[in-house]
Amino acid sequence: MQSWRRKSLWLALLASWLLVLLGLFPLLRLAVPTSPRAGAPQGWPRWLDAELLQSFAKPGELLEDGPRPPQALRGGSCNWGACFDTSKCRGGGLKVFVYPAAGPVSETRRKILASVEGSRYHTLSAAEACLLLLLSPDTSTGECDPVPPQWDGGRNHLVLSLHPAPCPRTFQLGQAMVAEASPTVDTFRPGFDVALPLLPEAHPLRGGVPGQLRQHSPRPGVALLALAEDGGRWHVAGTDFSACPWDGRCEQDRGPKQTHPGATLPNATFCLIPGRGPDVLHFLQALQAGCIPVLLSPRWELPFSEVIDWTKAAIVADERLPLQVLTALQEMPLTRVLALRQQTQFLWDAYFSSVEKVIHTTLEIIQDRIFGPSAHPSLLWNSPPGAILALPTFSPSPSDFPFYHLQQGSRPLGRFSALIWAGALGQPPLKLIQAVAGSEHCAQILVLWSSEKPPPTGWPKTAVPLTVIDGHRKVSDRFFPYSAISTDAILSLDAHSSLSTSEVDFAFVVWQSFPERMVGFLTWSHFWDEARGGWGYTAKRTNEFSMVLTSAAFYHRYYHTLFTHALPKALRTLADEAPTCVDVLMNFLVASVTKLPPIKVPYGMWHQEARPPPLEPGGPGLRQEPQPAAQNCINQMAAGFGHMPLVSSRLRLDPVLFKDPVSVLRKKSSPPPRSCLTPTPAPDPLRFHSRVCPLVPTLFMLPRKVHRQAPGLTRESREGTAVSSSLWPGRCATNI
Amino acid sequence: MCASVKYNIRGPALIPRMKTKHRIYYITLFSIVLLGLIATGMFQFWPHSIESSSDWSVQKRSIRDVPVVRLPADSPVPERGDLSCRMHTCFDVYRCGFNPKNKIKVYIYSLKKYVDDAGVPVSSTISQEYNELLTAVADSDYYTEDIARACLFIPSIDLLNQNALRVKETAQALAQLSRWDRGTNHLLFNMLPGGPPDYNTALDVPRDRPRRYFLLSSQMALHPEYREELAALQARHGEAVLVLDKCTNLSEGIPAARKRCHKHQVFDYPQVLQEATFCVVLRGARLGQAVLSDVLRAGCIPVIIADSYILPFSEVLDWKRASVAVPEEKMSDVHGILQSIPQRQIEEMQRQARWFWEAYFQSIKAIALATLQIINDRIYPYAAISYEDWNDPPSVKWGSVSNPLFLPLIPPQSQGFTAIVLTYDRVESLFRVITEVSKVPSLSKLLVVWNNQNKNPPEDSLWPKIRVPLKVVRTAENKLSNRFFPYDEIETEAVLAIDDDIIMLTSDELQFGYEVWREFPDRLVGYPGRLHLWDHEMSKWKYESEWTNEVSMVLTGAAFYHKYFNYLYTYKMPGDIKNWVDAHMNCEDIAMNFLVANVTGKAVIKVTPRKKFKCPECTAIDGLSLDQTHMVERSECINKFASVFGTMPLKVVEHRADPVLYKDDFPEKLKSFPNIGSL
């Protein structure tokens, strides 16, 4: 009993201690202030009576507010809606008339005139034009032009000056738009005027120097910063740059420096350009060099700022916070630096590298304003290949173009249309049609009948619809954007071509990985002919190639639109006159858009090596070497483009198990497993594409269970739908 | 504490032997102790959460307690704003100064009630909306309580509704603010000045159902000239165009703002907006129109017919994607202009309009935060949010890939590549690899990553003499990730990762691999290919090394890639993949394949027929079980990585790259890469 009592006493003691402790802790907690700021007013208060607050406007309160009349035109501030008459442009879209030059023409002006005349918007009649282009007075002649005849208060006029005007204007601008190099932000009217880049005198007319960027990431050890100096020079600062000399005001202690007086292009990651500097040329130099421009509070409008998103290619910082800018540049993540660098190059190549590009971009901006809702979306302006090469008339949706599938998260349609060009031809190319129609990806076959004779009637019955289109007997016809073409992919064929179904299938699957490129079977390569001082090309088999023949090639149907609507007419006429040129022209076009080589896929050995040129019945059957006329055409094309866009490739894309001596090895080691016994005919030309059994040693290493499961294994696409289960069709053996 | 716990454990066993009264006594005691324990536990965790809650620290006060400030009639009126102000002329950036997080600091003046000499209040103290706005700012990251550290100031004087203001007195009140200084760095909210925002109306999220009207105008106070134009439009296009006006014959008690009429037909507003594809926003009483937000909310595409109307947040939002701007002069053509827009684009615009509404206009909070973000982007342009982040709806953002190496560029061959050999202690094999690799013409540097901390690398004199610089890097820890570290020694963009036991690859094969990489610098270019498959029975991914017609990965035992991916692997690898790889000592190549495919959205390139790194004849029989566990582990890796990435980024292709004349009937000696091995 006593012990129980004692124990209970102990327990009571323990319990009371515990309680005391429990009570004490919270008290202690309260006694010691946890936060030093306790008691001070903090934050925006939560009003106890917030519910009682009135709403800032009672519904219906403002309904009787006086209505406002349509805005009367105010003199100085024209805007697009008020000062431009789009009704003139309604018929044929933008038509541009340029006032002919009176008297001697300076070099710059000649280039501008040539660019406008080469543009697809040019017209010779001032009456049908909806935009009248007035070139501003020339620097060299020093004369100021009189008021042009169709001036009409400047309505629908664009006054274009690539250089700041040397003499005061003799007339009021009125309602004219001004396209001026580096306009000041104070006078620039956004959405109405166009800001141009300040071009150097010697800027090329066409093509232009490509960007200087040779690698995506900055070279290790390259200077972080280059400073723009007077006279178009750059002062390259080391990485441990002292933060003093911002705009040349501070002369002492420039830190470790290496000045290149002769170098005109900066070699640094960032190029610092003071905002009020008179020499805006620096900006273009930086772009060309792939040096990210860092602009300090620029007082001038950035070129084409209406459409170009400069935040992707340049940094516009406040000149009052130089130290902060410097720190930000030093700490900028590599990913951002890479993106900015590449964007500078893209913009340079797409819009600035030649006078022609600058002028065409200007016209494209005006065209976009006229188009209104169907203008280029921002994506088309700001990602390769740029708005000049991406025609908004093709489609309102970027995912219809071959270039934006990654950004849009889309993929090209999984079918193709075969477009067979039939020149002089007695009967339909049955074998070819059957081979193409046999492809599971084939959606339709279009035969482009381009002969004087009426098309024959005996077209074969095919699983896919076959349509005969009557062409216009011109070679460039084969690249016309026929509305009958319903798929993204086009398989362009000649009636003479011979392909097998498996070749077509494989080439199409490859094309789906590279929808912006041409995927072809037969190739040519171009070369620089030292002896003749010009370009040449050859159909000989070499270790590299740069063109694929359109007698058997996959490409995106967008290139038909581009070929017909964007190429200068002169080039297309040239191709019509010399039929082999049409291949060259198409390859030039695609290469100038993609800046990449085409793709070659394997072609059976038994086929002819090259095709006879179209529209030349009875001509040389196997043409090893292009005709001299054709050799000439590549030079004319190169002149027309202003540069040589073709890029060479040294690789061919083959099926993964192409010509693998797999079965040979198997024969050596053991009889094939039972599941692999499905025979295929021995002389099958599709050999390279037939599904091949795994090598026996590998099979042995696999557990049996997995092997049995194998037919159930498929891969799934990102969306989770099964894409292909053709991995083990019949577990066939190869026949080599 | 400890003792009592012990006692508790013994307690129940004692209870049955005790007398009843003792038992009750003990049970009571026991329960007290138990309760105490529970209470202790509660106190351990509970108070912290209370303290961190904002309700605890923020003051709760009543509006009525707000201090009153009397404005003398002759107190200074601030001068008019400078219309030519620009960010770099009028905004004082020095106040913002250096900030590692690139966030501006915003201060909110405390609330005061301003009265004039006669004691009449200048305005209502604060409206519900402005209170909401200031609360949102105060809750955001931008907020600071320290006026000295702030770079942007928001007065608590409610200026939202211009109509309810006494302009002169309000100006005087603003001038009284302690940091006013002619308004420098002050942000005034004067939103939706023309009409009631009516945020309280319950409205369904618009559905994708057919819309009855093509074009609708719902504004009431319109100038007769516009009315005429609209009437003409309606006369011309009939049913497709609906022009609504104020109702004249409404019975009492029905708010006029919620009804619109066409002749004698009465429509509910704003519900009627959901019936139209396009909704007109005309110049009304003021330029900024409340109708715009109603229209956006209803999923109707606004047709802006008001020249020089600066649309909200137009600095960052691309309104062309969500609205149609028609010049006032072209108002009569509006139907034709809208008709020319293809259906797909209309759907796109509807989606975009809805997204703008949801992201930036739906609530006062969204508006406040977007405003501050825009100002923040101006001050810290190098940390600004991109066009895509502002404008792309989440569905697009999710599916899109922005390739970090998007510029089509073939690097010059002269640049060459850097070979990185990861080694532990197989010196003999390593030396053979070095000798072999050094024969490749485009090799420009060789980097040996010595991963063995217990052993020193061989002396300089023992290394093979090769024609390019050879550097040995010693690592601090034996980790597989060391192979993918962005070493400063890597000067070329192209990197060849190669194992120290891969001696099969010929010089031609390696050189050709480099050539292929030059054409595909944003991809992994490797030799043996592997595949991932979906196992339907097990419902998970499976690693496949059999020789199939498809490839989705390449082994990095020998692979070319851009050195940028080293940076990504080391610093930007999602989740715990890097640690997983180091812990398992496996799958670093699968991780690299995942990473590259995820950022570029592109497939790998398998080069040449090569399928194995070791000779096929020497596959040892005892390797069987090893191989099985290996495959299971690799499959596990794929499943793990796919779950970390949240998707399966790998892309399957059916092609490999061979030299142009590979296996062609052509003289071998004329081929560039004659010596391409097999298997």
Q: Indicate whether A183 and A92 sit together in one domain.
A: yes
Q: Indicate whether B514 and B635 sit together in one domain.
A: yes
B252 CB near a chain A CB, below 8 Å?
no
Choosing from A321, A336, A353, the residue where a domain stops is A353
CA distance B532 to B638: 8
Computed on alpha carbons and rounded to an integer, the radius of gyration of chain B in Å comes to 36
Least confident among A143-147, A334-338, B588-592: A143-147
Q: Indicate whether B326 and B225 sit together in one domain.
A: yes
Tell me if B354 is assigned to some domain.
yes
Query: Which residues does chain A have within 8 Å of residue B226's beta carbon, measured at their own beta carbons?
Result: 67, 70
Q: Indicate whether A160 and A224 sit together in one domain.
A: no
Q: Indicate whether B91 and B233 sit together in one domain.
A: no
B232 CB near a chain A CB, below 8 Å?
no
CA distance B490 to B416: 11
Mapped to the 3 state alphabet, what secondary structure does A181-244 carry?
A: ECCECCCCCCCCCEEECCCCCCCCCCCCCCCCCCCCCCCCCCEEEEEECHHHCEEEECCCCCCC
Q: Indicate whether A179 and A269 sit together in one domain.
A: no
CA distance A730 to B16: 77
Distance from CA of A167 to the nearest CA of B (A): 27
HSE toward the beta carbon, residue A33, CA cutoff 13 A: 7
Lookup: tokens for A507:
């080439």
Q: Is A240 a catalytic residue?
A: no
List B residues 522-551 in contact with A (Cβ-Cβ < 8 A): 529, 531-537, 542, 544-551
A313 CB near a chain B CB, below 8 Å?
no
Which one of B24, B225, B546 makes the best mutation probe of the A interface by having the most chain A beta carbons within 10 Å? Answer: B546
Which one of B56, B84, B88, B595 makes the best mutation probe of the A interface by having the most chain A beta carbons within 10 Å? Answer: B88
Confidence of residue A3 (pLDDT cuts 50, 70, 90): low
Query: Which residues does chain A have within 8 Å of residue B342's beta carbon, measured at their own beta carbons?
Result: 374, 396
Q: pLDDT at position A440, please?
A: 92
Q: Indicate whether B232 and B164 sit together in one domain.
A: no
Q: Indicate whether A217 and A188 sit together in one domain.
A: no
Q: pLDDT at position B45, please?
A: 52
Least confident among A266-275, A410-419, A656-665: A656-665
CATH of the domain at B320: 3.40.50.2000
Its ipTM equals 0.85
- Interval A644-668: pLDDT, tens: 999 999 999 999 988 876 654 443 3
- Interval A698-724: pLDDT, tens: 222 223 233 333 334 444 333 333 333
Tell me if A682 is assigned to some domain.
no
Confidence of residue B275 (pLDDT cuts 50, 70, 90): confident
A315 CB near a chain B CB, below 8 Å?
yes
Scanning the structure block, which residue is given the tokens 């062609």? B664
DSSP conformational letter for A732: P
Query: Which residues does chain B have within 8 Å of residue A47's beta carbon, measured at their own beta carbons?
Result: 60-63, 131
B675 CB near a chain A CB, below 8 Å?
no
Q: Is the per-residue pLDDT at B204 higher than 50?
A: no
Q: Indicate whether B436 and B517 sit together in one domain.
A: yes
Tell me if B144 is assigned to some domain.
yes
Q: Indicate whether A545 and A451 sit together in one domain.
A: yes
Q: pLDDT at position B363, please?
A: 87
Of chain A, the end-to-end C-alpha distance in Å amounts to: 101
Q: pLDDT at position A238, please?
A: 55
What's the whole-number mean pLDDT along residues B629-637? 90
Total structural domains in chain A? 3
Q: Which residue, B547, B671, B555, is CA-closest to B606?
A: B555
Least confident among A251-255, A525-529, B78-82, B238-242: A251-255
Tell me if A396 is assigned to some domain.
no
Q: Is the per-residue pLDDT at B55 higher than 60?
A: no
Tell me if A347 is assigned to some domain.
yes
What's the whole-number mean pLDDT along residues A516-520? 95
Tell me if B553 is assigned to some domain.
yes
Among the partner-chain residues B194, B307, B673, the one whose CB lies closest to the CB of A81 is B307
Confidence of residue A165 (pLDDT cuts 50, 70, 90): low
Q: Is the per-residue pLDDT at A88 higher than 60?
A: yes
List B residues 400-419 in contact with A (Cβ-Cβ < 8 A): 400-412, 415
B190 CB near a chain A CB, below 8 Å?
no
What's the whole-number mean pLDDT along residues B418-440? 92
Tell me if B35 is assigned to some domain.
no
Integer CA distances (angstroms), B577 to B62, B135, B531, B592, B596, in order: 53, 40, 20, 10, 14
Mean residue pLDDT of chain A comes to 75
Q: Do B656 and A309 touch (CB under 8 A)?
A: no
Q: Indicate whether A109 and A180 sit together in one domain.
A: yes
Among the partner-chain residues B60, B546, B552, the one whose CB lies closest to the CB of A698 is B546
Q: Is the per-residue pLDDT at A299 higher than 90?
A: no
Give the containing element (helix H, strand E) for A113.
helix A107-118
- Interval A344-382: pLDDT, tens: 999 999 999 999 999 999 999 999 998 888 899 999 999
Q: Indicate whether A477 and A586 sit together in one domain.
A: yes
Q: Indicate whether B630 and B505 sit together in one domain.
A: yes
Q: Chain B residue closest to A691 (CA)?
A: B549
Q: Indicate whether A99 and A167 sit together in one domain.
A: yes
B499 CB near a chain A CB, below 8 Å?
no
Tell me if B265 is assigned to some domain.
yes
Q: pLDDT at position A712, please?
A: 40
Q: Indicate whether B263 and B345 sit together in one domain.
A: yes
CA angle B597, B598, B599 (to 5 degrees): 100
Query: Which residues does chain B have within 8 Å of residue A727's beta carbon, measured at their own beta carbons?
Result: 533, 548-550
Q: pLDDT at position B238, please?
A: 85
CATH of the domain at A635: 3.90.550.10
Query: Which residues does chain B have within 8 Å of residue A320's beta carbon, measured at their own beta carbons?
Result: 88, 93-94
Q: Do A652 and B658 touch (CB under 8 A)?
A: yes
B316 CB near a chain A CB, below 8 Å?
no
Q: Indicate whether B158 and B263 sit together in one domain.
A: no
Q: For strands A194-196 and A131-135, give the pairing.
A: unpaired
| Maximum Cα interatomic distance, chain A, rounded to a whole number of Å | 132
Q: Indicate whether B441 and B532 sit together in one domain.
A: yes
Scanning the structure block, which residue is given the tokens 């670093």? B588
CA distance B515 to B513: 5
Q: pLDDT at position B96, please?
A: 82
List B residues 107-146 in contact with A (Cβ-Cβ < 8 A): 108, 110-111, 124, 126-131, 134-135, 137-138, 143, 145
User: Is there a contact between A450 and A524 (Cβ–Cβ < 8 Å)?
Assistant: no
HSE toward the beta carbon, residue A50, CA cutoff 13 A: 15
If one compares B199 and A74, the residue with the highest pLDDT of the two is A74
Which listed residue (A247, A583, A654, A660) is catalytic? A583
Residue B335: CB atoms within 10 A of its CB come to: 18
CA distance B326 to A373: 9
Chain Cα centroid distance, residue A31 = 67
Query: Which residues does chain A have within 8 Å of residue B329's beta carbon, measured at their own beta carbons?
Result: 81-82
A249 CB near a chain B CB, below 8 Å?
no
Tell me if A716 is assigned to some domain.
no
CA distance A707 to A702: 7
Mapped to the 3 state alphabet, what secondary structure does A272-304 carry?
A: EEECCCCCCHHHHHHHHHCCEEEEECCCECCCC
Q: pLDDT at position B187, please?
A: 87
Chain Cα centroid distance, residue A348 = 13
Query: Which residues does chain B have within 8 Å of residue A19's beta carbon, measured at their own beta carbons?
Result: 32, 36
Q: Is the per-residue pLDDT at A605 higher than 80?
A: no
Least confident among A27-31, A336-340, A402-406, B237-241: A27-31
Highest mean pLDDT among A160-174, A518-532, A568-582, B242-256: A518-532
Q: Among the residues of A454-557, which ranges form H helices?
A: 501-513
Q: Do B134 and A44 touch (CB under 8 A)?
A: yes
Range of the domain at A183: 80-140+147-196
Q: Do A339 and B404 touch (CB under 8 A)?
A: yes
Q: Is the per-residue pLDDT at A443 higher than 90?
A: yes
Query: Which residues does chain B have within 8 Å of residue A724's beta carbon, measured at their own beta carbons?
Result: 550, 652
Q: Indicate whether A468 and A589 sit together in one domain.
A: yes
Mean residue pLDDT of chain B comes to 83
Tell me if A6 is assigned to some domain.
no
Tell me if B500 is assigned to some domain.
yes
Confidence of residue B81 (pLDDT cuts 50, 70, 90): low
Distance from CA of A47 to the nearest CA of B (A): 5
Return the axis-axis angle of helices A334-347 and A281-289, rounded to nearest 10°.
110
Q: Indicate whether A512 and A584 sit together in one domain.
A: yes
Query: Which residues does chain A have within 8 Å of residue B548's beta carbon, measured at their own beta carbons?
Result: 656-657, 694, 727
Integer CA distances (angstroms), A264 to A143, A182, A282, in order: 32, 20, 9
CA distance B492 to B472: 17
User: Is there a contact between B498 and B491 (Cβ–Cβ < 8 Å)?
Assistant: no
If one compares A385 and A108, the residue with the highest pLDDT of the two is A385
Residue % of chain A over a pLDDT of 70 = 72
Confidence of residue B94 (pLDDT cuts 50, 70, 90): confident
Q: pLDDT at position A659, please?
A: 81
Q: pLDDT at position B287, please?
A: 57
Q: Indicate whether A178 and A266 sit together in one domain.
A: no
Range of the domain at B230: 213-362
Tell me if A398 is assigned to some domain.
no
Q: Indicate whether B446 and B346 sit together in one domain.
A: no
B46 CB near a chain A CB, below 8 Å?
no
Lookup: tokens for B161:
């509704």
Q: Is the per-residue pLDDT at A168 higher than 60?
A: no
Q: pLDDT at position A326, please?
A: 86
Confidence of residue A144 (pLDDT cuts 50, 70, 90): low
- Interval B389-407: pLDDT, tens: 999 998 888 888 989 999 9
Tell me if A395 is assigned to some domain.
no
Confidence of residue A143 (pLDDT cuts 50, 70, 90): low
What is the full DSSP assignment across B455-504?
Answer: SPPPPGGGSPP-SS-EEEEE-SS--GGGGG---TT--SSEEEEEETT---
Backbone angles phi, psi at B232, to 5 degrees: -65, -40
Residue A458: CB atoms within 10 A of its CB come to: 8
E strand segments, A99-139:
131-135
Which one of A650, A667, A716, A731 makes the best mutation probe of the B interface by having the most chain B beta carbons within 10 Å? Answer: A650
Among the partner-chain residues B131, B194, B549, the one whose CB lies closest to the CB of A47 is B131
CA distance B332 to B336: 9
Integer CA distances (angstroms), B298 to A20, A674, B207, B347, B587, in order: 63, 65, 9, 14, 51
A212-243 burial, b at 16+ Cβ within 10 Å, e below that, comes to bbebbbbeeeebbbbbbbeeebbbbbeeebee
- Interval B147-195: pLDDT, tens: 888 889 999 888 887 777 777 888 888 888 888 888 888 888 876 544 4
Tell me if A656 is assigned to some domain.
no
Pairs of residues, one from chain A and one from chain B, whose beta carbons lie less than 8 Å apart: 481
Q: For strands A268-274 and A223-228, give the pairing.
A: parallel
List B residues 420-449 in contact with A (Cβ-Cβ < 8 A): none
Total structural domains in chain B? 3
Query: Which residues does chain A have within 8 Å of residue B639's beta carbon, measured at their own beta carbons?
Result: none
Q: Indicate whether A234 and A173 sit together in one domain.
A: no
Confidence of residue B434 (pLDDT cuts 50, 70, 90): very high
| Maximum Cα interatomic distance, chain B, rounded to a whole number of Å | 110
Residue % of chain B over a pLDDT of 70 = 86
Confidence of residue B678 (pLDDT cuts 50, 70, 90): confident
- Interval B297-344: pLDDT, tens: 888 999 998 877 888 898 899 999 999 998 888 888 899 889 989 998
List A residues 563-602 in contact with B (Cβ-Cβ < 8 A): 594-597, 600-601
Q: Chain B residue closest to A222 (CA)?
A: B491
